[in-house]
Amino acid sequence: MRLLFIGDVVGRAGRAVLVETLPELRRAWSLDCVIVNGENAAGGFGITETICNDFLAAGADCVTLGNHAFDQREAQVFITREPRLIRPLNYPRGTPGRGATLVETAAGASVLVVNLMGRVFMDAMDDPFAAIERELEACPLGTGCDAAVVDFHAEASSEKQAFANFVDGRVSLVVGTHTHVPTADHRILPHGTGYMTDVGMTGDYESVIGMDKDEPIRRFTTKLPSGRFEPAMGAATLCGVAAEIDPLGLATKIAPVRIGGKIAGARPDFWLKAAEPVV
């Protein structure tokens, strides 16, 4: 099974590169499942129903969220009727929406997608470790699903690494989101779970984590807000991680994906045709 996870889509620039690039990636790489983090898609803060539908139409099978899940108030309504849009599982009881979903691939396989949020340097949330235990007990890899992917939306690298090792061998892939900077530690853990501390953002890297530079710099230098954060509008990079999953639901290959924009490109060489450039 071929999986592609695409990192936090930020603003109009990020949306544009995703919608323009994903259909061709899906075709060229014969992807079975595509997951997109969309929590910064609407002006950098949250997601709208129209944007979510655009991502699904472009080839996403599931859209995950994070700490900005409900910044757009309409999300509280449409998330309840769109099973392919999920928010962190460990939000408090009573929060609208769901924290996990099962994606059925064209080949008939089932992929459990779970969204969780960390607690270090983040808003107070329920325990993500206990939450994933309950979810994997209800839908274990191999009997309840053919593959399992976790979007762990968190600030601290240590928390992401601890979580990934906690579920190693019980899920196919753990991908860190939230910090908007791709890490270089993509690898397969000892018991077969693919892992990357942060997949990076899909947005304009000529920015401050996706935002136009002026306001963040002003706040750092004066400690005074003088306006809204606005997404940077330059050429965006699509950032993601590609993984190949075996019949047991464990990762056999993993590679970063970076296409377009200002940072160095990367593509999974194990899926490329001989004539296709690696970057």
**DSSP type of residue 47:** -
* DSSP assignments along 231-276, one per residue: B--S--BEEEEEEEE-TTS-EEEEEEEEESSSSPPB--TTT--TTS
Instruction: Please confirm, yes or no, whether 68 is among the known catalytic residues.
Output: yes
Which runs of consecutive H residues, i.e. helices, occur in the chain?
A: 11-28, 49-58, 75-78, 128-138, 157-166, 214-222
Q: What DSSP designation does 224 have?
A: -
What is each CA distance from 6 to 16, 229, 270, in whole angstroms?
A: 14, 23, 18
Q: Which amino acid is at 208?
A: V
Burial letters for 66-101: b for 16+ Cβ neighbours within 10 Å, e otherwise? Answer: bbbbbbbeebeebbeebebbbbbbbbeeebebbbbb
Query: What kind and span of H or E run contains 153?
Result: strand 147-153
Catalytic residue (choose from 68, 178, 180, 186): 68
Looking at this protein, which amino acid is placed at residue 132?
A: I
Q: Which residues carry out catalysis?
A: 68
